[in-house]
């Protein structure tokens, strides 16, 4: 693997690219935000002036973008990745998008002899910085094996889950579980607080039992400290839940709890809090109960 291209240097992509550079990979990077490109270039990457610059020389192109339309534009658009990439190259889309979109993009890539993996991640900004993301991968298994070591620079795990689109189906399942966990935590801690019980003590009492979870460990301390700075923004979780609902509806699968949490997130968006961390949905429960969950003293 000689040259790695990286397109999309946002809250997740930037630390992921930096970890690849630290591991000794040769990176050429591009983003619409020139300052982000310059920042990563200062750590050792080559700065590209366009998507085409990246695609022309990279053996593997990684994309980390907001949603399906952005990925389609970058890969399939005029003078995009597919127009300029060489046959035999690999595209690893690490964005969280619709599984159907991944399948559509893969079909176009196959016409040019280019392999596509859909490899969305879980863990938010903290784990992107640490290089300990969970990566779920769909596509050709032999292609996955070829880039697995690369992925494990950015993640603590990289698991092959099936054919193209499977990675994003897995990510949608992940996002449903995370959203419902945050909502359940919110309801439980509102109940405890309004009953006069210290929510921090409740957290410490239940974290080692069946109610304990990675979500509880990551998000409850943030709530107690009233820290809603984003590790993962509400607006991005709304995007993922919309993809989950659309996918579920397309295969006649009801997901009513997901729909309910989606409405709570939409309430936060309507309050202008869509850029807060997704644990910030607890504020909507606080509004309804007229109670604030926080550390005492």
C-alpha closest to that of 248 among 180, 176, 177, 183 = 176
Q: Are the C-beta atoms of residues 104 and 77 closer than 8 Å to each other?
A: no
CATH architecture of 4-164: 3-Layer(aba) Sandwich (3.40)
The DSSP letter of residue 42 is: T
pLDDT the model gives residue 231 = 84
pLDDT per residue of the chain (297 residues) written in tens, 0 to 9:
589 999 999 999 999 999 999 999 999 999 999 999 999 999 999 999 999 999 999 999 999 999 999 999 999 999 999 999 999 999 999 999 999 999 999 999 999 999 999 999 998 888 999 999 999 999 999 999 999 999 999 999 999 999 999 999 999 999 999 999 999 999 999 999 999 999 999 999 999 999 999 999 999 999 999 999 998 899 999 999 999 999 999 999 999 999 999 999 999 999 999 999 999 999 999 999 999 999 987
Q: Please say if 14 is a catalytic residue.
A: no
Per CATH, 4-164 and 169-289 having the same topology is answered no
What are the extents of the domains in the chain? 4-164, 169-289
pLDDT the model gives residue 297 = 72
Please report which helix (H) or strand (E) contains residue 159, including its range: strand 155-162
Q: What angle do CA 61, 277, 235 make, to 5 degrees?
A: 65
> Which CATH number does 169-289 carry?
1.10.1040.10
Helix (H, G, I), strand (E, B) or coil at 88: coil
pLDDT the model gives residue 2 = 80
- Whether the predicted model's global pTM rises above the 0.75 cut: yes
Helix (H, G, I), strand (E, B) or coil at 5: strand
Rounded to the nearest 10 degrees, what angle do helices 166-194 and 282-289 cross at? 30
Enumerate the β-bridge partners of residue 28: 5, 46
The whole-angstrom separation of Cα 270 and Cα 204 is 33
SS3 of 225-293: the string is: CCCCCCCCEHHHHHHHHHHHHHHHHHCCCCCHHHHHHHHHHHHHHHCCCCCCEHHHHHHHHHHHHCCCC
Please report which helix (H) or strand (E) contains residue 122, including its range: strand 121-122
C-alpha closest to that of 262 among 158, 183, 156 = 183
Q: Which of 171, 219, 239, 283 is catalytic?
A: 171
């Amino acid at each position: 693997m000689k040259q790695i291209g990286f397109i999309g240097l946002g809250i997740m992509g930037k630390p992921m690219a930096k970890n690849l550079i630290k591991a000794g990979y040769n990176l050429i990077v591009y983003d619409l935000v020139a300052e982000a490109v310059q920042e990563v270039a200062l750590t050792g990457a080559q700065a590209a002036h366009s998507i085409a610059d990246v695609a022309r020389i990279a053996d593997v192109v990684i994309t980390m973008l907001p949603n399906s339309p952005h990925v389609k534009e970058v890969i399939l658009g005029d003078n995009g990745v597919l127009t300029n990439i060489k046959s035999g190259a690999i595209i690893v889309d690490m964005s969280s998008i619709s599984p159907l979109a991944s399948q559509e993009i893969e079909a176009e890539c196959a016409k040019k002899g280019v392999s596509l993996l859909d490899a969305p991640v879980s863990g938010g900004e903290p784990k992107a910085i640490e290089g300990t993301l969970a990566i779920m991968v769909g596509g050709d298994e032999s292609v996955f094996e070829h880039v697995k070591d690369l992925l494990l620079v950015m993640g603590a795990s990289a698991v092959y889950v099936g054919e193209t689109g499977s990675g994003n189906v897995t990510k949608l399942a992940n996002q449903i579980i995370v959203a419902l966990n945050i909502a359940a935590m919110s309801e439980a801690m509102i109940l405890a607080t309004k009953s006069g019980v210290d929510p921090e003590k409740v957290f410490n009492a239940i974290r080692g039992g069946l109610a304990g979870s990675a979500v509880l460990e990551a998000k409850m301390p943030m709530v107690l400290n009233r820290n809603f700075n984003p590790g993962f923004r509400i607006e991005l979780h709304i995007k993922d839940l919309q993809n989950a609902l659309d996918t579920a509806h397309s295969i006649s699968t009801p997901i009513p709890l997901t729909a309910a949490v989606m409405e709570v997130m939409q309430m936060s968006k309507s309050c202008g809090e869509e850029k807060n961390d997704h644990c910030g949905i607890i504020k909507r429960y606080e509004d309804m109960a007229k109670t604030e969950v926080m550390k005492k003293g």
